[in-house]
Amino acid sequence: MNLAHLLARTARVFPERPALLVGARAICSYSRLARRVATIAGGLRGRLGLQAGERVALLLGNCPQYLELLYAIWHAGLVAVPINGKLHAREVAFILEDSLASLLFVGGGDAAPSPAAAAMWSACMPRLRIIAVEDGDYRRLAAGEPLAVSVAAPDDIAWLFYTSGTTGRPKGVMLSHRNLLAMTLSYFADVDQVEPADSILYAAPMSHGAGMYNFVHVLVGARHVVPESGGFDAAEIIELARSLRQVSLFAAPTMVRRLVDQAAAQGGGGDGIKTIVYGGGPMYLADIQRALTVLGNRLVQIYGQGESPMTITALSRQHHADRGHPRHLDRLASVGVAHSVVEVIVADADGRSLPAGEIGEIWVRGETVMQGYWHNPEATAATLRGGWLHTGDVGSLDSDGFLTLRDRNKDVIISGGANIYPREVEEVLLQHPAVAEVAVVGRPNAEWGEEVVAFVVCRPEASAPSGQLDRLCLQSIARFKRPREYFFVAELPKNHYGKVLKTELRRQCAESGEN
């Protein structure tokens, strides 16, 4: 089934419902959106001559054109290649070359490329056509003859998602129509219910997880809201939520923290916010508890990867609120239970499924797991083995099926033969009231192999002396796990999705040891 049928169906059943909003202002109904999608699809196949299966890249900020282009690409039987608008021009060039994209749409907010960047991309790919969504070429594309929805097999590629590349060259994750439909349907079972009066607010990049949540809201005819700012502004989000009501959004943990700070400063809690689905990085227990106190019971956590998008486990609203459960804090520190469309196990190095409480690599299989990596059979074979997706993440399951993440395999610190999981140390350090953010990494040590060091960001006008942090650790964890040195920094290095770059921190450690 072609994902474009989701929009076509809703446009037939609920034609006059508002589909697209910029801020609080409705600009497009579902019937008009579907007509524009069919016409743009006709232009892609007719005017531009693209053939089924060709790749169309989107280098856009969050903007109304994003949604119509995604559906026009699928409507025309093509493959969408969303690219984060904050990537460096050379990173974009790699994705364009690797995907063999025929067409690139640019623009939308501050994502317009410089002339030098566009010239570099054209030099790398002479056949690449670049269209700005604000220009006449785009308007002409939307002014031709409509096209009927193209036939797509369930395993045809719909979305080519490039990994963040923190450990090397990005890889193109091939996500099929079947993968994304399974992800969509599992949202209703495992994450949240959606009603026509709801709004999905695109505060995080639509090129990533936030954009993937469009499907559930299209399916029920709910509203899609692009903030006037085109991105994340905590004050703007709070104002829109109070105006529109029943607003949901996907947010990275850093965004949730900023939203909580803003809500606490303004008062009113989470008024107008229906659901915040958070994921994409570790959300620490102290932050979750504060968010629940300030915003109320509006949180759902998901754990996923590009290779199984948004769907490995979920910690429901009910589990967040169940304060009477004897293991409530343990559950809050977990990432929940397996989505209904996947199986999740924790396995040892020999591939044996481990019993409850034991730590190993997290494996996943099910309808949402990718088809493989684009033109990369070696990486595909290494990651998809024996029918399972080997996530590279380390965790443990409890007897009730709740999964607790420990760390990435590459982030585990081995000191004197003992495994130390940085997240455990980070959770303790974040209990200090002056600590805003922290990242723990291993530093080479001649005697022990590695030793623990911590990079600490303090709250404004606050300090966290090393001695206090040491005492906090010694009260909660084994002595050998406490950091041997603390680096106090203004900010942590992060990639464009807000994930802390521990590779960069390890490099800084190595350089400090050489000086």
User: Is pLDDT above 60 for 489?
Assistant: yes
Q: Distance (Å, rounded) from C-alpha 160 to C-alpha 308?
A: 13
Residue pair 283/258 in contact (Cβ under 8 Å)? The answer is no
pLDDT of residue 166: 46
Q: Is residue 44 part of a domain?
A: yes
Q: Distance (Å, rounded) from C-alpha 455 to C-alpha 438?
A: 6
- The pair phi, psi for residue 50, each rounded to 5°, is -70, 145
**Can you tell me the mean pLDDT for 375-390?**
95
- pLDDT-derived band at 167, boundaries 50, 70, 90: very low
The CATH number of whichever domain residue 420 belongs to comes to 3.30.300.30
Q: Distance (Å, rounded) from C-alpha 131 to C-alpha 50?
A: 14
**Can you tell me the mean pLDDT for 56-67?**
96
- In the chain, the amino acid numbered 486 is Y
Total of domains in the chain: 2
- pLDDT-derived band at 275, boundaries 50, 70, 90: very high
**Can you tell me the mean pLDDT for 200-222?**
95
pLDDT of residue 268: 82
Q: Distance (Å, rounded) from C-alpha 72 to C-alpha 38?
A: 6
Q: Distance (Å, rounded) from C-alpha 470 to C-alpha 481?
A: 10
276-302 burial, b for 16+ CB within 10 Å, e for fewer? Answer: bbbbbebbbbbbbebbbebbeebbbbb
Which among 137, 125, 201, 179 is positioned nearest to 3, based on CA atoms? 179
Q: Which residue segment(s) compose the domain that 496 sits in?
A: 412-514
Between 166-175, 312-321, 362-371, the lowest mean confidence (pLDDT) is in 166-175
Q: Is residue 246 part of a domain?
A: no
Q: Distance (Å, rounded) from C-alpha 420 to C-alpha 471?
A: 18
Comparing 209 with 512, which gets the higher pLDDT? Answer: 209
Q: Is residue 202 part of a domain?
A: no
Q: What's the mean pLDDT when you consider all of the chain?
A: 92
- pLDDT-derived band at 515, boundaries 50, 70, 90: very low
> How many other CB atoms sit within 10 Å of the CB of residue 123?
10
Helix (H) or strand (E) holding 195: none
Q: Is residue 491 part of a domain?
A: yes
**Can you tell me the mean pLDDT for 431-436?**
94
Last residue of a domain, one of 149, 178, 207: 178
Q: Is residue 100 part of a domain?
A: yes
**Can you tell me the mean pLDDT for 391-405?**
94
The CATH number of whichever domain residue 162 belongs to comes to 3.40.50.12780
3-state helix, strand, coil in the chain (%, to 5): 35, 30, 35
Last residue of a domain, one of 178, 210, 239: 178
Last residue of a domain, one of 119, 150, 178: 178
Q: Is residue 81 part of a domain?
A: yes
The model's pLDDT over 9-54, given as tens digits with 9 standing for 90+, comes to: 999 999 999 999 999 999 999 999 999 999 999 999 999 999 999 9
pLDDT of residue 514: 54
- pLDDT-derived band at 503, boundaries 50, 70, 90: confident
pLDDT of residue 155: 96
